[in-house]
Chain A
Amino acid sequence: MISFSALSKCYGPLTAVRELTLQVEPGEVYALLGPNGAGKTTALRCLATLLRPSSGSAAVCGADVSVDPLRARRRIAFLSSSMGLYERLSARELVAYFGRLHGLAGAALTKRVDEVVELFAIGDFSGRLCGKLSTGQRQRVSLARALVHDPPVLILDEPTLGLDVLSGRTIHDFIVRERGRGKTILLSTHQMDEVDLLADRVGILRKGELVAEGSPTELVQSLGAPNLTKAFLALMSEWALVPEEGSA
């Protein structure tokens, strides 16, 4: 499971995430929503141990990200649209490389690589250099890379950004399947249909603060909006009308 406890992250005078507290249970998909610059990516990066929280804490299956980042990393798969692949490695070499970094070796490594290659249908192009793959193929290799150690927690930062409908569908199917396997899943997104389709619970971030939380239905009802998009817009426009004071 995932837990944030009053986590804040500051860059000099700017506070990107302010006292974020939330929990995601195994078998649950939690979607973080928010406009650009709301702090979604920063929060996910803190959880993935890429950034060090300024205060507060976060933990993955009991491993505190600040105290024992390496232990936390073994328990997570982190996938973000900004993450690249090694252009001069073949798809299979790349997946195997990350398998080795996660401590797999020998027959166990070969077996696991074969599994993920099959799972994400990489077989046809597993020998091709990553630099020569299409966007959709790259996304599948990224998934295989992230999942090679079969961790209990998935952190997905805008996983379908820039993908066509078909590739997006592959990701959605994957998320549903992993939830079924009892994985804890935290994702950030801009796409309301994605949230409708996948999320068990939603958290809305505004200027680094969690301003609303609940199931999609609860959120729509509590804001009296016809759908989630309208509810989201209502929250954001409410903020736009609020004077600047105290929100910096």
Chain B
Amino acid sequence: MNSAWWVVFRKELLETLRDKRTLFVMVAVPVFLYPVLLIGTEQLFLFGARNLDAEPSPVAVIGDAPAALLDLVEASEALTLTAVAGDAVAAMRADQVMAVAVVGPDVDADDTRDVTLLFDAASDRSQRAHTQLRRVVEAWRDTILDRRLRDRGLPATFSSPVAVADSSIARPADMGGYTLGRVLPLLLVMMTVLGAFYPAIDLAAGEKERGTLETLMTAPVPPGAIVVGKFVTVALIGVTAAGLNLASMLLTFQTGALQVTEAIGLEVSVPLISVAVIFLTLVPLAVLFGAIFLAIAVRSGSFKEAQNALTPVYMLALFPAMLPVFPGIDFGPVLALTPVAGVSFLFRDLMSGNAGWLLGALVLVSTTFYAGAGLIFAARAFGNERVLFGGDDTSEVTADPWARKLWSRARPGRVPTPSAALGFVALIAVLFFFGGIRMQIAWGESGLLAAEWLLLLVPAVLFVALGRFDPGLTLSLRAPKAPHLLGATLLIAGALPVVWLVGWLQSFVLPIPWDLLEGLEELMTAQSVDRFLWLVLILALTPALCEEIVFRGVLLGGTRTLEPWRMIALNGLVFGAFHLSFQTVIRFLPTAMLGALIAWAVWRTGSLWVGTLMHFLNNATIVVLTSLPVVRETFSDPEAPPPLWLVPIGALALGVGLLVIVRSTSSGAERAAEGVPGS
């Protein structure tokens, strides 16, 4: 066998196995460090617990303390009765006592006496003292109860008519699988992904940094063969690391080296067939991350740069892997199709012995599919000279010192680079998130108005002015023509019902925050004309101006060097993400779609005013629909589907709008000749 990918693979494997760092992560960590670390942690834990139990905790009883209670405290081996002079809380803070029982005044025969137990929930010792003290106080309570029952000639069972006992049917092995199934999937995913981490960087960015990629590319080998060879190496290292980790973890647990598992009655034995299936699932996972890491690493110029680029991806991958740790999440088809999460849940079910074939197959097939997509992504990077050798150097555009930019005039034709524009929007988003929310809390609705103008519009204008960017070109400040405005109106009229339908459809998948919606409805109801106009000002006119200048102005202006579809998709995604919050995940898709549509219209017409009009019409329509109770009743029962007859009409309007704008704008080359921004 001497095909090119095989030659590349053999060489990469040989070189990788000579790399001490990779060998360490792949072999040394699981084989030695793991059991040592695990057993060490357990020993430390046991040592700490013994230490806590060794000495009695000082506690105090204050108030109207009866002798019977004091005797019980003194009799307890875990507690030492200590006298406290003055403030009990102060004595606790000074660590003189770990818990204090404050006993209320004596009561009449059948009344209830109050006892308050003071403890520090942030201290292990205090918590332990609290538990012990509580036991003693409860024992004292029981003696009083016994006496009361005796005095009335009632049996002891009188006060407990029903006895409830818990009894788990889980066998020790089930418990072992259950407990292991929560922790081990995360560890396995983590180690598999980590196993692919360094080889991917070394084989892609490292090779670029050392200048060997150029050497390799002069050999008559198609880029695809190079990617496959490298990628098989990375995936193989990932799978091997995963296999060694799995074996090492299971051996550590199953040999009974852990006293804790024995002590609490866990028995760890995962059936061999489950271990085999787990290993089988790790293969596409390693493949997926091998491909993703390679594709990203090859886009970086150096080892360090690649490490910086891959670390967030690694962290992001760990989040879905963590899901099985949280209780109450059921493994279903949606999770099975979610990258990484599916694998992690399948491991959990395999370990606790109740995995289903269908979900397992879904996980395997979907992960294999994602791995294939990742591989195509990587192959494209290796076929791209800009990725391999750089060369697209537009950084000089922003290389001037800021001080000089301040004092000179805008340069015609100068626009921000994509990274400068994206950086600016990221900064604005952070500013708006922290500053804007504070302003809204402080000044209410006026705060919202102020935040839009001061934190969006003003920074955007400053950015263009200080960066000496050509304002007309960067912000697409071209006067619109009548057909543009007509097209824009049709587009937004058509998009409204379509987006509404999308929003309604996604309500089947994503939860709707009803509380929030009801709050908004209240806020938006207009009882007077003045109130209605105010709502239009803060919710429609202001965003149409302030958000457009940021997103369809600076962002669109700065990303024009990208391919049009990328530029428009990016604009929609960033716009959707800007409107995202914890409660409003449901807004993302509709907002992103509208953002992309507006971005297209502004790019095509070269006029920001077209975007402003569309944004205003969209928001104003929503204000009208929700602020007038009569209209709201008819249209916006949030649980009902949108009026379906509107959808085809909307689609038609959308189509006509697109046509009007396409017809009224010339082709790319002609627009470039006319000096249209964005051509």
Mutual binders A and B = yes
Determine if B218 and A87 form an interchain contact, defined as CB atoms under 8 angstroms apart. no
- How many residues from A make CB contacts under 8 Å with B? 35
A125 in contact (CB, < 8 A): no
B210 CB contacts on chain A under 8 angstroms: 84, 87
B517 in contact (CB, < 8 A): no
Contact of A76 among B15, B218, B392, B393 (CB under 8 A): B218
Q: Size band of the B side of the interface?
A: 20 to 34
Question: Inter-chain contact count A-B, CB under 8 Å?
Answer: 78
B391 in contact (CB, < 8 A): yes
B76 in contact (CB, < 8 A): no
Residue of B214, B389, B394 with most partner-chain A CB within 10 A: B214
Tell me, rounded to whole Å, the shortest Cβ–Cβ distance linking B370 to chain A. Answer: 30
Determine if B389 and A45 form an interchain contact, defined as CB atoms under 8 angstroms apart. yes
Determine if B385 and A51 form an interchain contact, defined as CB atoms under 8 angstroms apart. yes
Tell me, rounded to whole Å, the shortest Cβ–Cβ distance linking B351 to chain A. Answer: 38
Determine if B212 and A80 form an interchain contact, defined as CB atoms under 8 angstroms apart. no
Nearest A residue (CB) for B8: A101
A52 CB contacts on chain B under 8 angstroms: 385
A145 in contact (CB, < 8 A): yes
Determine if A73 and B220 form an interchain contact, defined as CB atoms under 8 angstroms apart. yes
Determine if B220 and A70 form an interchain contact, defined as CB atoms under 8 angstroms apart. yes
Tell me, rounded to whole Å, the shortest Cβ–Cβ distance linking A248 to chain B. Answer: 13
B11 CB contacts on chain A under 8 angstroms: 86, 89, 93, 97
Contact of B219 among A12, A14, A87, A101 (CB under 8 A): A101
Q: Known contacts A51-B389, A51-B391; is A101 also within 8 Å of B215 by CB?
A: no
A70 CB contacts on chain B under 8 angstroms: 220-222
Determine if B212 and A84 form an interchain contact, defined as CB atoms under 8 angstroms apart. yes
A83 in contact (CB, < 8 A): yes
Q: Known contacts A84-B215, A101-B7; is A89 also within 8 Å of B393 by CB?
A: no
B218 CB contacts on chain A under 8 angstroms: 48-50, 73, 76, 78, 146
A82 in contact (CB, < 8 A): yes
A102 in contact (CB, < 8 A): yes
A74 in contact (CB, < 8 A): yes
A129–B15 alpha-carbon span in the complex (Å)? 11
Nearest A residue (CB) for B17: A88
A98 in contact (CB, < 8 A): yes
Residue of B7, B212, B220 with most partner-chain A CB within 10 A: B220
Determine if B7 and A97 form an interchain contact, defined as CB atoms under 8 angstroms apart. yes
A119 CB contacts on chain B under 8 angstroms: none
B19 in contact (CB, < 8 A): yes
Contact indicator per residue, chain B 612-627, by CB within 8 Å of chain A (1) or not (0): 0000000000000000
Tell me, rounded to whole Å, the shortest Cβ–Cβ distance linking B532 to chain A. Answer: 50
B8 CB contacts on chain A under 8 angstroms: 101
Q: List 6 A-B contacts (CB under 8 A).
A: A11-B393, A85-B215, A86-B212, A88-B14, A88-B18, A93-B11
**Which residues in B have some Cβ–Cβ distance to A below 8 Å?**
2, 4, 7-8, 11, 14-15, 18-19, 210-212, 214-222, 385, 388-389, 391-394, 561
